[in-house]
């Protein structure tokens, strides 16, 4: 299999490292930053492209800022390459239906990097909820926070795409993992209401903190907190049901299940934050080889993007917004 990685920043390098660990021998990389490209060539001993070339590329990984995703995906698909797009899918809905049509016409696959669908804790939660082990779901409470300076410590955070409106930054889009996994385990979101703001004295263009209220399936209440100001990395979710509760802590890699009869169970899983990224790449390869069905599809990512944009609209208009049905 021949794989092209476009973008050699932190996530691009992570994917290169993981693909090499999966014994993918033909990996190529392209980046408009020629200095960074040389460093990556030396670090990983792989072939670099100074000009984009999709010849015989089986899958293109797009690891660039969100505002470039759809244009690059279209180019790759037109050249008969399957496509993996890092999250968020884009900064707008423009062009998404076009790449979907191209992929279907050419029988190609599109994946979007919502890697938490491969987290062992969330996968277990999904199974528990499907079995109705904690009864009817009453509420979700998801939290993600970490100071932006820690996201990419080798560069000034003011210059990162997360800080740029034009490039599709901001905590609502860049922190959309929470929304995506809640849509996965919780189902259809019917309504959203949000408040968000910039962080004082951070010198960034985009929102840095957001509180989001949601209603799932016309009954379940959800809350999502997102920020890039917390000095300590914090990511967790509490789910309340009519028969019990689940507490998931990503930073501790634990899952606590409590029942109303007093029984409780603590599950710990492997402390390797990179494993879900490896599993994600395994999944992409297996899907291309027709061994698995796509779990990180374009349709799911499009729904997350649509909802994220309506969350932003809610914050601007200061009102509850109804989410269109699928």
Distance CA 266, CA 239 (A): 15
Contact 112, 62 (CB under 8 A): no
- CA 5, CA 62: separation in Å to the nearest integer? 6
Q: What is the DSSP string of 23-50?
A: T--EEEEE-S-HHHHHHHHHHHT-EEES
Return residue ranges of the chain for CATH 3.40.50.720: 2-113
Please give the span between the terminal C-alpha atoms of the chain, in angstroms, as a whole number. 35
- 175 beta partners: none
The yes or no reply on domain 116-322 and CATH 3.30.360.10 is yes
Q: Which of 291, 305, 293 is nearest to 111 (CA)?
A: 293
Interacting residues of 216 by C-beta distance below 8 A, sequence separation 6+: 137, 140, 182, 186, 187, 188, 189, 190, 222
- pLDDT per position in the chain (326 positions), as tens? 999 999 999 999 999 999 999 999 999 999 999 999 999 999 999 999 999 999 999 999 999 999 999 999 999 999 999 999 999 999 999 999 999 999 999 999 999 999 999 999 999 999 999 999 999 999 999 999 998 888 776 677 777 878 888 888 899 999 999 999 999 999 999 999 999 999 888 888 899 999 999 999 889 999 999 999 999 999 999 999 999 999 999 988 899 999 999 999 998 887 788 999 999 999 999 999 999 999 999 999 999 999 999 999 999 999 999 999 86
Q: What is the model's pTM?
A: 0.95
CA-derived radius of gyration, the chain: 20
Q: Is the dihedral of CA 30, 74, 71, 100 positive or negative?
A: negative
Domain 2-113 sits in CATH at 3.40.50.720
Q: Beta-carbon neighbour count of residue 163 at 10 Å?
A: 21
H/E stretch holding 137: strand 137-145
Q: Where in the chain is the domain with CATH 3.30.360.10?
A: 116-322
DSSP string, 188-214: -EEEEEEEEEPPTTS--SS--EEEEEE
pLDDT at residue number 151: 74
In the sheet that holds 2-6, the strands lie side by side as: 47-49, 26-30, 2-6, 59-62, 82-86, 110-113
Alpha helices in the chain (DSSP H): 10-21, 34-44, 69-78, 96-106, 120-130, 171-174, 177-186, 275-288, 298-317
Distance CA 68, CA 80 (A): 19
């Amino acid at each position: 299999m021949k794989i092209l990685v476009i973008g050699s920043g932190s996530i691009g390098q992570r994917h290169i490292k993981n693909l090499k660990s999966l014994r993918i021998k033909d990996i190529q990389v392209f980046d408009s930053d020629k200095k960074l490209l040389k460093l990556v060539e030396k670090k990983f001993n792989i072939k670099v492209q100074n000009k984009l070339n999709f010849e015989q590329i089986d899958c293109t990984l797009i690891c660039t800022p969100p505002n470039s995703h759809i244009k690059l995906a279209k180019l790759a698909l037109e050249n008969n390459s399957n496509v993996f797009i890092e999250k968020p899918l884009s900064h707008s809905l423009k062009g998404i239906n076009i790449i979907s049509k191209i992929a279907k016409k050419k029988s190609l696959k599109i994946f979007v990097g919502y890697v938490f669908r491969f987290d062992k804790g969330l996968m277990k939660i999904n199974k528990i909820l499907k079995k109705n082990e904690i009864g009817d779901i009453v509420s979700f409470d998801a939290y993600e926070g970490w100071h932006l300076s820690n996201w990419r410590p080798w560069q000034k955070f003011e210059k990162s795409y997360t800080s740029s409106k034009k490039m599709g930054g901001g905590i609502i889009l860049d922190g959309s993992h929470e929304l995506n996994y809640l849509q996965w385990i919780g189902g259809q979101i019917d309504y959203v209401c949000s408040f968000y703001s910039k962080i004082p004295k951070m010198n960034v263009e985009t929102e840095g903190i957001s509180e989001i209220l949601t209603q799932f399936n016309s009954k379940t209440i959800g809350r999502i907190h997102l920020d890039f100001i917390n000095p300590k990395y914090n990511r967790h979710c509490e789910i309340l049901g009519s028969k019990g509760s689940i507490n998931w802590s990503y930073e501790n890699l634990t899952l606590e299940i409590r029942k109303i009869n007093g029984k409780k169970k603590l599950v710990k899983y492997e402390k390797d934050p990179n494993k879900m990224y490896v599993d994600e790449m395994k999944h992409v390869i297996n899907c291309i080889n027709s061994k698995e069905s796509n779990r990180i599809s374009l349709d799911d990512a499009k729904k997350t993007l649509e909802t994220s944009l309506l969350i932003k609209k809610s914050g601007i208009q200061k009102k509850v917004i109804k989410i269109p049905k699928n």
